[in-house]
Structure 1
């Protein structure tokens, strides 16, 4: 996601490409390993966008 090497010493998280809440699964094709900071950034953008849509 960020373009940095995945194994650079940062903590790694598993991200659902299609969120489980909207029908995504735990199948391999729907999972992506990302840095913890990148994972947090993706989810903060998702919350911001959904808050704007609900306004």
Structure 2
């Protein structure tokens, strides 16, 4: 009996999910991991249906063609989790814009 090879996505350098600047990297990594697992895709489908198949940022439909990113509502660095209640699907561009706005607001407080 052969054991199937399971590929893992390496974490780059000294990145941690608790470093504020690395959130997008880890959310994209989570996307890749979930896209490769049918059980995890069920979670993506649950999020998609819960949101009415639309992006909560722009209100437009999320499809395979538009793509999606998984976003943590409460940042992991602030104690957020990977539970369904803390996750939402966003279009990749909406996700980048959201993090850019958050980063800009954070810089204003420094």
Whether the TM-score (by the shorter chain) exceeds 0.5 is yes
Structure number with greater Rg is 2
Matched, 1:11 2:67: yes
TM norm structure 1:
0.91
Runs of 4+ in structure 1 off by over 3 angstroms are none
Q: How big is the alpha-carbon RMSD for the aligned residues of Structure 1 and Structure 2?
A: 1.0
Aligned residues: 54
Gapped runs of 5+ residues in structure 2?
Answer: 1-56
Gapped runs of 5+ residues in structure 1?
Answer: none
Compare the two structures and name the one with the higher strand fraction.
1
CA distance, structure 2, for counterparts of residue 8 and residue 41 of structure 1: 20
Partner SS, residue 90 of structure 2: strand
